[in-house]
Amino acid sequence: MVQAKTWVLTRHFEGFPKDSNFELKLEQLPEPKDGEVLLEALFLSVDPYMRVIQSNNPTFPVGCHVVGRCGWRTHTVSDGTGLTCLLSDWPQDVSMSLALGAIGMPGLTALYGLEEVLGLQAGETLLVNAAAGAVGSIVGQIAKIKGCRVVGSSGSDGKVAFLKELGFDEAFNYKTVGSLEEVLKTASPDGYDCFFENVGGPFSSVAIPQMKEFGRIAVCGSISTYNDTNPQTGPYPHLTMIFKQLKMEGFMVSRWEHKNPESLMRLMAWKREGKLQCREQVTEGFENMPAAFMGMLQGENIGKAIVKV
């Protein structure tokens, strides 16, 4: 029998998460039955990445690598439901941890938000906030591949330097600018064709009036509001959206799941061609999972935050 370590949520968050919200427990796992596999986590994120170490399921032979939603656990017995094998020709010189980042769900989110929601075209100007994060950093790079002008917002000078390394045309630290409205106008005096929204809150209220007529907004996240104990209110964008005839659409990456195999190959090709840089913030040790999670919410990571088990 295998003993699994697992993090359990002991109490729902009230405001920002605390150490006391989590408890580390040990669990004895049964032997896999017919059709089941035993998974061992190698890297963990919101989506854990694992390898199969024991199998009674021919679809997942021992030693294959999979991505699955199994929680914060070192080991899991699974019947295979929801498991996805990595690309069969995954290059040996590319870290498999990228299956949790640029060559995984965050990369797909960036790609589908730009192509399926925004319909981004060459020559257009794109604004993206949380631009140094797992999704935002890929958004900006794909937009540059497509021949667009990219303006990125992030929360530290180090992140701004990173965005410049990635080829962003303009990048700024929203925490230190005197006026967000003025810096957005200076970065693109003619306004923005597209806005990839990851933050919400006051940033969104300032950015929406900077859109061009018939501008498009993809709402991917709202990290500025996730830990609020009281809902934020206004200002409200309705009149701006009416007079500028804007389109705003929220989306979930799972909508285009049928495209994932082809899309992952496109992302991998850009990585292999040197067009896509993939920064990771790696925390060592399963015991540090809550700390890595809370650090991510505080914006400590550049690129994708993962835990190496």
The token pair that represents 182 in the structure block? 């003025």
96 inside domain: yes
Q: Are residues 119 and 217 in the same domain?
A: yes
If 0-12 CB within 10 Å is exposed, 13-18 middle and 19+ buried, where does residue 284 land? exposed
pLDDT of residue 297: 87
- 105-112 vs 260-272: helix crossing angle, rounded to 10: 100
pLDDT, averaged in runs of 10, over the chain (309 residues): 93 91 96 96 75 92 93 95 92 94 96 98 98 96 98 97 98 97 98 97 96 98 88 90 98 97 97 96 94 89 92
CB 89 within 8 A of CB 156: no
Q: Are residues 17 and 130 in the same domain?
A: no
* Distance (Å, whole) CA 224 – CA 230: 12
Q: Are residues 92 and 120 in the same domain?
A: no
pLDDT of residue 48: 54
Q: Are residues 109 and 89 in the same domain?
A: no
CB 307 within 8 A of CB 288: yes
Domain count, the chain: 2
284 inside domain: yes
CB 131 within 8 A of CB 171: yes
- 105-112 vs 136-145: helix crossing angle, rounded to 10: 50
Q: Give the position of tokens 């061009």.
A: 212
The token pair that represents 146 in the structure block? 């497509």
Q: Are residues 96 and 112 in the same domain?
A: no
Domain holding 225, by residue range, is 105-253
CATH number for the domain spanning 17: value is: 3.90.180.10
Which helix (H) or strand (E) is 292 found in, with range?
helix 289-297
259 inside domain: no
* Distance (Å, whole) CA 292 – CA 219: 25
- For residue 122, how many C-alpha atoms fall within 13 Å in the half-sphere facing its CB? 3
The token pair that represents 76 in the structure block? 């899991």
Q: Are residues 41 and 134 in the same domain?
A: no
Q: Are residues 181 and 43 in the same domain?
A: no
272 inside domain: no
* Distance (Å, whole) CA 38 – CA 77: 5
If 0-12 CB within 10 Å is exposed, 13-18 middle and 19+ buried, where does residue 122 land? exposed
198 inside domain: yes
84 beta partners:
67
CB 109 within 8 A of CB 133: no
Q: How far is CA 138 from the centre of its chain?
A: 9
Q: Which residues of 25-48 are buried (b: 16+ CB within 10 A; e: fewer)?
A: eeeeeeebeeebbbbbbbbbbebb
Q: Are residues 228 and 124 in the same domain?
A: yes
CB 154 within 8 A of CB 135: no
Q: Are residues 55 and 167 in the same domain?
A: no
Classify residue 106 by its DSSP letter: H
Q: Are residues 96 and 141 in the same domain?
A: no
CB 20 within 8 A of CB 11: yes
73 inside domain: yes
CATH number for the domain spanning 179: value is: 3.40.50.720
Q: Are residues 149 and 195 in the same domain?
A: yes
C-alpha closest to that of 175 among 197, 192, 158:
158
268 inside domain: no
C-alpha closest to that of 49 among 76, 21, 15:
76
Residues contacting 177, CB < 8 A, separation 6+? 183
The token pair that represents 91 in the structure block? 């290059």
261 inside domain: no
- The model's pTM is 0.92
Q: Are residues 114 and 222 in the same domain?
A: yes
238: three-class secondary structure by DSSP: helix
